[in-house]
Amino acid sequence: AFLVTMAEEVRYKVKVLEDGHITVDAPMSVFSTDKKGYFTLFDNNAASKGEEKGHSFHKYVDATPYTKENFAIKKEEEHPEWTVLTAVTDKEGKTVPGRSYIPTTLGYDAEAFAKLKKDELTEIVDNLFVVPGLKIPLVPVTREPNLRSRMYREKYPDLEQSVVVLVKRIDVMGVYVSLLEYDETEGMILLSELSRRRIRSVKKLINVGRQEIALVLRVDKEKGYIDLSKRRVSPEDVAEIEDKFNKSKAAHSIMRNLATTEKRDVIDLYESFGWELGDEFGHLLDAFKRLLMDASALDKFDMSPDVRKALIKNVELRLTPQPVKVRSDFEVTCFAYEGIDAIKAALLKGIQCGTETNPIAVRLIAPPLYVMTCNTLDQDFGINLLTSALDKIKAEILERKGEINVKMAPTAVGAEEEAALAKALEEAERANQEQDGDDEEDEEGDDE
């Protein structure tokens, strides 16, 4: 029923294989309790031939015991200890492209696979095993992890999709580029598609090594040809395209680092959980940011503990926001009867606006100038917090017949501003000490 590998990894025998269904000699209990999850499919025949890609990762949306109640079979054909897993389907009940259970190592599409003879199917199925969850194999000790991979699930971009390219060389026919988001697949921008204006000098318009944005005109998936246009890119879309690319590049950097440290091919990381997270959260980088607050999004994958732990650590290292200091300078005066007591009461109102995680501090630079600061992970939140505090101070001091004059509105400050503030506070403290010393000398002179 199952095979135990050297790493004590239980692999369950496949009994029946179809485009959108796979029957495994394993009880329901070994799969997800909510009947939805992921599994890793191993092809021992491919592995024996030295093919490193003898595995694939799959999602199932239903898990059902192989019984008469669930399938049109006879009583004697039942196997309650078998489980049938169902792939993702579209509205018409057809397996969604890219979700087929047929191993790519076999080289068959769904139509060709359905025409195989019984003995051919038996030979194929006899070499297939399933492991519940995403068990991403380590790369062989004889080589380093392969860090090359496209950033998205689709191997090629869609027509009229804008992509980021790197100019490789300029030819008489056009400009050869590599599509940075698609594993540097080669594409070409014809000279007529470079600019809407008359081209006097191609080198003045585009340079080798330069990053450009291009629109996809044609894609020949069989030959791998991609024709592009630079002149048809809408200027209004450039900022959005660059933002998407920068996010994809940041996520790709995390995936490459994870592949390096955990000795896995980066394409395996994408195929197992990367593109799944991207689909769920809109973008892989947004999914990684969510992990900072809640790592339970990884639970459904049932991935190897070492990969999960390293991924979370990597994300925390790369994406944890650094604290920002927000500061505001202001003068507060009160010449009414309450005087200093009114100022203290007003400042206290501002300090009380702080939170447990974002406390507000107020320090005296030199009468009547004060500085108010707070440390925060969210710059906008910090600015709004100090703005609210200033409003509270203003309301309180005005009610007590005093005045407030904001010298510097709440703003995020860097190291230079902090150094200048520290110097101002030091000088103010030194001046106060000198004044105290002068008073003592004056008192001694008076005694004489």
3-state secondary structure of 170: strand
Tell me which amino acid residue 366 is.
Answer: A
Residue with tokens 């939140």: 381
The reported pTM is: 0.74
CA 192 to CA 215: how far, in whole Å? 13
pLDDT band, residue 147 (cuts 50/70/90): very high
Provide the pLDDT for residue 448: 43
Task: Transcribe 365-382 into DSSP letters.
Answer: EETTEEEEEEEES-HHHH
Can the peptide bond before residue 368 be classed as cis, meaning omega within 30 degrees of 0?
Answer: yes
Report which DSSP code applies to 92. Answer: T
Question: Is the pLDDT assigned to residue 444 strictly greater than 50?
Answer: no
CA 101 to CA 121: how far, in whole Å? 14
Neighbour count for residue 306 (Cβ, 10 Å) = 14
Mean pLDDT of 41-70: 86
Mean pLDDT of 183-193: 92
Provide the pLDDT for residue 156: 95
3-state secondary structure of 441: helix
CA 234 to CA 213: how far, in whole Å? 10
Which helix (H) or strand (E) segment holds residue 360: the answer is: strand 360-366
- Helix spans in 263-339 (H): 266-269, 275-281, 284-293, 305-319
Mean pLDDT of the chain: 89
Both tokens of residue 16? 């029946």
Residues 6 or more apart whose CB falls under 8 angstroms from that of 215 comprise 160, 161, 162, 163, 228, 229, 230, 232, 233
Cβ-contact 258, 147 below 8 angstroms: no
Both tokens of residue 113? 């696979």
Which has the minimum average pLDDT: 44-48, 226-230, 258-262, 353-357?
44-48
CA 321 to CA 357: how far, in whole Å? 14
Residue with tokens 């004489």: 448
For 183-254, where are the E strands, in sequence order? 185-190, 211-220, 225-229
pLDDT tens per residue, range 358-407: 999 999 988 899 999 999 888 889 999 999 999 999 999 999 999 999 99
pLDDT band, residue 442 (cuts 50/70/90): very low
pLDDT band, residue 341 (cuts 50/70/90): very high
Mean pLDDT of 152-167: 95
pLDDT tens per residue, range 17-44: 999 999 999 999 999 888 899 999 999 8
- 284-293 helix and 238-262 helix, angle to the nearest 10 degrees: 60
CA 367 to CA 186: how far, in whole Å? 67
pLDDT tens per residue, range 85-121: 999 999 998 999 889 999 888 888 888 998 999 899 9
